Chain A
Amino acid sequence: MANRRFDPVALEILWSRLITVANEQAAALQRTSFTPIVRDSGDLSAAVFDTRGRMLAQAVTGTPGHINSLATSMHHFLEAFPVTNLEPGDVLITNDPWKTSGQLNDLSVVTPVFNEDHVVGFFGNCCHAVDIGGRGLSADAREVYEEGIWVPMTKLYSAGEQNEELIRILTANVRAPREVLGDLHAQVAGNQVGSRRLLDYLDEFDIDDLDDLGDEITQRSEQATRRSISKVPDGTYSHVIQTDGLDEPITIACAVHVNGDEIVVDYTGSSEQVDRGMNVVLNYTTAYTSYALKCAISPEVPHNDGSFRPVTVTAPEGSILNPMHPAPVAARHIVGHFLPHAVLGALAPVIPERVVAEGSGNVWLTTVRGAGKQRFVTVFFASGGMGARPNKDGLSTTSFPSGIATTPVEVIEASSPLVFRRKEFRPDSGGPGRYRGGLGQVIEVGVRTDEPYVVSALSDRFRFQAAGYAGGGSGANGGFATSTGRVLNPKLSVRMAADETFTLELPGGGGFHKPAERSPEDVARDVAAGLVSEEAAKDVYDFEP
């Protein structure tokens, strides 16, 4: 039963204010960040937890891969550092991929909040570090050891004293220490601002700690999630999709078991783990699976520890969705971002009005680094098209499911030697349908250093297009080539000549319902806007202007 201490009005105020506290935490983190990926793209998560490690509220920004896995990682932190062993001024850190969000680049930082001598809650955040050493962010590695420096669960600050040894080791092992350590400092600052706000909050409302409120919030969210699941007909719904892989395609086989007010998603039948960095740890598999279920089934339920409880995600040990150490994992999002397509594909026959067609899949994460005298590392994101919705066109160049914002060209050019020659919609890349898939884009990039450089554009959908639903057509494939006509491997690092540019062609999303059902007005508007060519309008939609 819900704790009777909170009447509905008081609860609503406490709850909303707690979300605001988490938003302030994220705002401080982003304002003090040293990289566009955290500051502008929002490749992060930030949240507030009670003393038992239950996530109560998250900042309204960031990615499902970071937030859902941060919620799980908090329990690992508490296992390693029980509350009774913590002191005021402690800050904990790890990038253990299996316990957090599945790649070494993601650093998780947790700060206990003390009111005098006792812990009243925690702040945690997880940010993508622009570099973590190793082979640079690509699928190149054969083992996680090659992917960079591994920071086990340890104290970044101990009673207010910075762990200088750790800082020196990190400085010596990453390519961009100023940015990496600067962002780490921002992560600490975000938690610190959150802590200060939380103490004011507890004082204002005269609460000792967050645990009673935590019971109330998580129980309500759990019950609301259960009510939503109950409305989905019981049964087992299966779907199989494929992604490019490196040499061999990767299979994602998904069975969604709906039983009363609970859901189990099982990935038995998916590919074995691979010896390239595309393996997805179970934490990350769970994160994107829960996210997909939430989008389709309970989008209105607040996101916290309670809303995860009715969902269980399993994948066989040693499979690509639950790999065993020391499997390489750096580019896990290249497979992980496809999981919602598998889940929504399984649910499409039962709740067709609440799913979107397949989209471009993973957000394309391009890392460019200098290979001459001038050292630099820059990361930028770009998105293809989303799948069409049952009642609307798909969103163009929008990252689903990660929600990452594309880094603005001006920001990248101002903070790196990169120069963008071209960035434009790809006409005809959106899958046809009564509702058209979102468009991909073409981006051409070079450098201004007059020196060779290395590019890794982690991308997919070169072999398998985004499928349309209910008779909708597929979106266009992706492409990756150089100005000298080399066709590049999208999963590996590639060495480029100083004057060579590379071109990313991002895939389009699938359509929804048959193209013949699209209204001539919509086709005419797309042709006028240059989103659909006159030839395609004639061939696909039988449209004559």
Chain B
Amino acid sequence: MKEVREALAAMLSDGRGLLEESGVIETEVSVSADIRFQGQGDALRIHLGSSLVEDDPARHVAETFAAKYRSLYGSVPDNVEPELLTWRLRISGPRPQPDISAERNEGKPLRGKREVWFANHAFVDTTIYDRYRLATGYRFSGPAVVEERESTIVIGPEGSAVVTENGNLEVAVG
């Protein structure tokens, strides 16, 4: 187990070096291991947290593995030894928080009206919208057709829609 501790310590110092070079502030260290029973082909990834780097991760592996195996598959087979394939240490800085809110669309989304056939309704006078001019927060009711370059969204006579903060169109089917 001394080897494992040494290997993890080496990985930790390598990782810190890399982060330092890149000017990233360290926020998280986590250790995981890929483990299976000897003779199996698929391994489970066991997450061991961060405090274990200085502690002794190997001690916790077998029991954490058995617990995860039991929760996934119901029970643990007898008379077989666990087999550790990979130790993994991950050291990371703060996760960037990109702004994924939609561009503020402005303008007139209405393109006009045309007759559209709906089951149980026959032809209905339907509003046609331009997807790229729908502003966030905009609400409208069916029957409606929203046109965009890649596809067309049809909202039935009982349906309604709202443009979310991210620019998604949330449709209530009615």
Contacts and interface: CB of A to CB of B under 8 A. Distances in A.
A181 B72 CA distance: 19
Interface in B2-51: 37, 39-42
Given A192-B73, A193-B72, A179 B39 contact: yes
B43 to A, nearest CB: 9
A380 B66 CA distance: 30
B74 interface: yes
A524 B78 CA distance: 58
Contact of B42 (A31, A182, A411): A31
B75 interface: yes
B40 A28 contact: no
A interface SS class: helix
A28 B77 contact: no
Given A31-B42, A36-B41, A182 B74 contact: no
Contacts of B41: 31, 33, 36, 39-40, 411
Contact of B77 (A181, A192, A196): A181
A33 B74 contact: no
B151 interface: no
Interface in B73-98: 73-75, 77-80
B79 A181 contact: yes
Contact of B78 (A31, A35, A181): A181
A39 B74 CA distance: 19
A34 interface: yes
Interface string A184-221: 01101100110010000000000000000000000000
A392 interface: no
A443 to B, nearest CB: 22
Interface in A16-51: 28, 30-36, 39-40
Most chain A CB within a 10 A radius of its CB, from B37, B41, B78, B79: B41
B interface SS class: loop
Most chain B CB within a 10 A radius of its CB, from A34, A35, A186: A34
B79 A193 contact: no
Interface in A253-307: none
A178 B80 CA distance: 7
A455 B75 CA distance: 36
B100 to A, nearest CB: 31
A415 B36 CA distance: 15
B74 A188 contact: yes
Contacts of B80: 34, 178, 182
Interface residues of B, number: 13
A193 B37 contact: no
Nearest to A38: B41
Contacts of A32: 40, 42, 73, 77
A30 B42 CA distance: 9
A179 B72 CA distance: 20
B79 A34 contact: no
Given A31-B42, A33-B41, A34-B39, A193 B77 contact: no
A182 B73 contact: no
Contact of A193 (B40, B42, B73): B73
Nearest to A27: B42
A300 B80 CA distance: 43
A485 B37 CA distance: 41
Nearest to B41: A39
Interface in A157-200: 178-179, 181-182, 185-186, 188-189, 192-193, 196
Contact of A28 (B37, B39, B73, B75): B73
B75 A189 contact: yes
A33 B40 contact: yes
Interface in A380-406: none
A188 B75 contact: yes
Contact of B74 (A40, A189, A411): A189
B40 to A, nearest CB: 6
Contact of A182 (B72, B75, B77): B77
Most chain A CB within a 10 A radius of its CB, from B42, B73, B75: B73
Contacts of A192: 73-75
Contacts of B78: 181, 185
Contacts of B77: 32, 181-182, 185-186
A502 B77 CA distance: 36
Contacts of B73: 28, 32, 189, 192-193
10 contacts: A28-B72, A31-B40, A31-B41, A32-B77, A36-B41, A185-B77, A192-B75, A193-B73, A193-B74, A411-B41
Given A28-B73, A181-B78, A185-B77, 18 more contacts: A28-B72, A31-B40, A31-B41, A33-B40, A33-B41, A34-B39, A34-B40, A35-B39, A39-B40, A178-B79, A182-B77, A186-B77, A188-B74, A188-B75, A189-B73, A192-B75, A196-B74, A415-B39
Top 3 A-B pairs, shortest CB-CB distance:
A192-B74, A189-B73, A185-B77
